[in-house]
Amino acid sequence: MKVFISVDMEGISGLVRWPDVSSSGIDFPLNRSLMTADANAAIEGSFEAGATEVIVEENHGVEDLCVLKMDEIDTRCEVIRGAGRPGSTTMAGLTESVDVVMLIGHHGRAGSFPGIMAHTISYGAFKLVTLAGQPIGEPDFFARRAAELGVPVGMVSGDQVVAAQVGEICPGVETAIVKQAYANQSGRCIPPGRARVLIRESAKRTVERTRAGEFQPIHSQGPYEFVVSLRKPAGDAMRSNLASLDHFELIEDSTVGIVAQDMDLGFRRVAYLGYADRAGVTKY
């Protein structure tokens, strides 16, 4: 039983505002420990229920995807971290051999209110990301990429907003709701010590239910058509970069259309728009 855990930071227990998840924030070192502890709770629950392998993949973009504390993480897992991974940055370790995906510390999609630190890939650059006209968040990318590989998503932890959104995409998914969002940077939190019990129990049930065949990959098939609404109109550098690339179309000043055959490419192409405003940067 192989478990893939994607760990993000915005949905970690006790954290509610942007300085909580940025290296300039006063509590960032402590919050890295809280993130590691939520991940450990999921790892522990997985092994308790009989997982034989747990891969943790860091999904939080601040500091080049190196936020977990390596001296505090459960020694039974392996951690994929750092930027420049092969394939889409946050799903490089997701392969056909994985039995179930868990999304720990995830957050609601861009445009959600409430929704603690809700965004899709880039809070600073993207106002909204849609797929076939429907707003999507990071869990949509994961669930669809996993589906392409024949793997189901079995669990999410975070606020009630991301739990509901993942529940829509993956009916019956296990949810560990560690905070109730009041707005985009406030909420009512279960103290992390208690939240971890929820996460551990939820992870345990996820592995048991996976073994019982209760989760199925969702249906997902390319080609996919995305529209990204940028917060700022594309500048000269982005315009010239996009003009030189296939699969991208500047529809309006701050609206870009993207086409991709699969979700690995889809994620990479959408994420590229977050840094496409630099002259000559056309790699994604």
Question: 253: helix, coil or strand?
Answer: coil
CA angle (94 as vertex; 10, 201 as ends), nearest 5:
55
Tokens of 262: 């699969």
CB of 221 to Zn ion, least distance (A): 28
Cα separation of 36 and 44, whole Å? 12
Binding site for Zn ion (CB under 5 A): 8-10, 60
CB of 236 to Zn ion, least distance (A): 29
**Spatial CA neighbour of 135 closest among 159, 110, 168:** 110
User: For residues 22 and 282, which CB has a smaller minimum distance to Zn ion in the complex?
Assistant: 22
Tokens of 154: 């079995």
CB of 9 to Zn ion, least distance (A): 5
User: For residues 184 and 210, which CB has a smaller minimum distance to Zn ion in the complex?
Assistant: 184
User: For residues 3 and 65, which CB has a smaller minimum distance to Zn ion in the complex?
Assistant: 65
Give DSSP secondary structure letters for 165-229: HHHHHSTT-EEEEEEEESSSS-EEE--HHHHHHHHHHHHHHHHHHHHTT---PPP--S-EEEEEE
Residue 63: exposure state from Cβ atoms within 10 A (0-12, 13-18, ≥19): middle
CB of 112 to Zn ion, least distance (A): 14
User: For residues 103 and 143, which CB has a smaller minimum distance to Zn ion in the complex?
Assistant: 103
Nearest-CB residue to Zn ion? 60
CB of 65 to Zn ion, least distance (A): 9
CB of 94 to Zn ion, least distance (A): 17
User: For residues 27 and 208, which CB has a smaller minimum distance to Zn ion in the complex?
Assistant: 27
User: For residues 8 and 174, which CB has a smaller minimum distance to Zn ion in the complex?
Assistant: 8
Provide the pairing of β-strand 2-7 with 53-58.
Answer: parallel
